[in-house]
Amino acid sequence: MTTFKEKLFKSLALFFVSTSLLFSQSEPTSISIQIDEQAPIISKHIYGHFTEHLGRCIYDGIYVGENSSIPNTNGVRNDIVKALKELQIPNLRWPGGCFADEYHWKDGIGPKAGRPNILNTHWGMVEENNGFGTHEFLDLCNLLGTEPYLAGNVGSGTVEELNDWVEYCNYDGNTDMANLRKENGQDKPWHVKYWGIGNESWGCGGNMTPEYFANLYRQHATYARNYPGASIKRVASGADADNYHWTEVMMRDVPHHMMWGLSVHYYTRTGWPPRGSATNFDEADYFLFMDHCLKMNEILDKHMAIMDKYDPKKRVALVVDEWGSWYAVEKGTNPGFAYQQNSMRDAMIAGVTLNIFNTRVDRIKMANLAQAVNVLQAAILTEGENILLTPTYHVMKMYAVHQDAQLLPLNFKSPKYTFEGKSLPAISASASKKDGVVHISLVNIDANKENTVEVDCEALGVSDFTATIVTSDNLQDHNTFDNPNKVKVQGYNDFKFKKNKLTLTIPPFSVLMLEAK
């Protein structure tokens, strides 16, 4: 016979189980996809990358020299070329960054024995021998099948220096610069299309006011000329994060035909110098960094509103040519080298940021992850002859399917990720269609709770679904040289399709890509 205490215990147990289920589950997030034939194309160039003479990005990263025992092509590591090619990177920015405004390109051409040693004053006060210069970088871009994006020196350079560099790269004729290029082994011009005019001119690029830089930009841009067969796209050095006044002045004072693009830089970090470990963090740290990551929405929208005021036809692109996470450097490494590990938190930052870009491609036409190898939110890390692919690499590779696809606008209300009384949108998403194939990228940033999503597919006319996911057991999980496949892309099949509705469950801190035909 059941006693009163036993009945009470069972009732309480049932109550607590029911309450637990109530708080652990939420209503499914319903996503409707709009078919808009006038929707913009997601430019492939928002999936660009960035390489700077910073720490071990170039030397002891991409470039090991022709005499290295590591397999290479003219000094460039073959394994890195292979890995970057698999990312289908559309453009590569070089040589900086802050380094660009102390770099004099003529130091890095000609016989290597005659190239001067220089001091990298911005990043670690190290000397370098200019073994990797214009020819080596443009040869790398040729190996990768990617567009070069050269950053010109405005901070310590001259108008003549920039003019000569553009002519050296792009003019096919009988001038001193064209002939110098030929003497150095490149008979035909490279026809470099993308040129940055200055970098962070509000800070390391010269500590200028926007009013002063606007005039200086006009001067430099005038002499960064088009040549036959080589029409260039000039990108003006733009704002730091929420410096909206800089964007206001540039859009007001620079003729729009002189700017293909105006840049903005935004890093997910908490203060300066950057704080926190890339791998040793708790949920409070994670929530704080995701909050900073999501502020990209507000920052971009406010810059774009200013641009819309002066350029309603959206002729000037917004170029986010530096973005990514920034923590304290790994213990035992040079503080000036910005070397950090890369965890599931960075996979979240990558997925959310790319979704933010995808949904604003009427104005955003280019972006560059900082950086490709061994620096900041790197796609690839190296150690001697070994390389590893980071969680960020895997997310970038998954998202490559959006390149040059037509945006499919989404309509949904995200559930909340709540921590200590504060809330953030848990779900981030974007979608596109190309050659009849639909891709939907979804991110669940919630550190604890899975979220169910229902996608109304009736307007899409698709029924054949496959999916991949980047997820792991712990937020702090990352790949190491001892365990390089801890975090990787996996198959995913926790979904069902019925009556034109796709229902799926996204685990906590996961990035998911759906493909539908």
| 26 vs 438, higher pLDDT | 438
Catalytic site includes residue 37:
no
pLDDT at 421 over 70: yes
Instruction: State whether residue 289 is helix, strand or coil.
Output: helix
Is the bond leading into 371 cis (omega within 30 degrees of zero)? yes
pLDDT at 329 over 70: yes
The rounded distance, in Å, linking the Cα atoms of 517 and 441 is: 15
The amino acid sitting at 206 is G
Query: Do strands 72-73 and 76-77 pair parallel, antiparallel, or not at all (unpaired)?
Result: antiparallel
The rounded distance, in Å, linking the Cα atoms of 129 and 119 is: 9
Cα 164 to its chain centre, rounded Å, is: 30
Buried b (16+ CB within 10 A) or exposed e, 477-514: bbbeeeeeebbebeebeebebeeeebebbbbbbbbbbb
Nearest to 351 by CA among 313, 321, 394: 394
Q: Which of 102, 136, 147, 322 is catalytic?
A: 322
Cα separations (Å) of 144 from 83, 140, 512? 10, 6, 27
Cβ count near 254 (within 10 Å): 21
The amino acid sitting at 263 is S
DSSP code, position 69? S
For residue 35, what pLDDT is reported?
85
What angle do the packed helices 244-253 and 210-223 form, to 10 degrees? 50
For residue 26, what pLDDT is reported?
64
> What's the mean pLDDT in 134-147?
98
**Structure-block tokens of residue 71:** 């397999």
For residue 141, what pLDDT is reported?
98
342-374: pLDDT as tens digits: 999 999 999 999 999 999 999 999 999 999 999
What angle do the packed helices 344-358 and 391-399 form, to 10 degrees? 30
> What's the mean pLDDT in 478-488?
98
Residues 6+ apart with CB under 8 A from 12: none
107-135: pLDDT as tens digits: 999 999 999 999 999 999 999 999 999 99
201-239: pLDDT as tens digits: 999 999 999 999 999 999 999 999 999 999 999 999 999
Catalytic site includes residue 200:
yes
pLDDT at 7 over 90: no
Residue ranges and CATH numbers for the domains of the chain are 27-38+409-516 (2.60.40.1180), 44-403 (3.20.20.80)
Q: Which of 128, 200, 450, 454 is catalytic?
A: 200
pLDDT band at 27 (very low <50, low <70, confident <90, very high): confident
What value, to the nearest 5°, has the Cα angle with vertex 197 and ends 193 and 203? Answer: 145
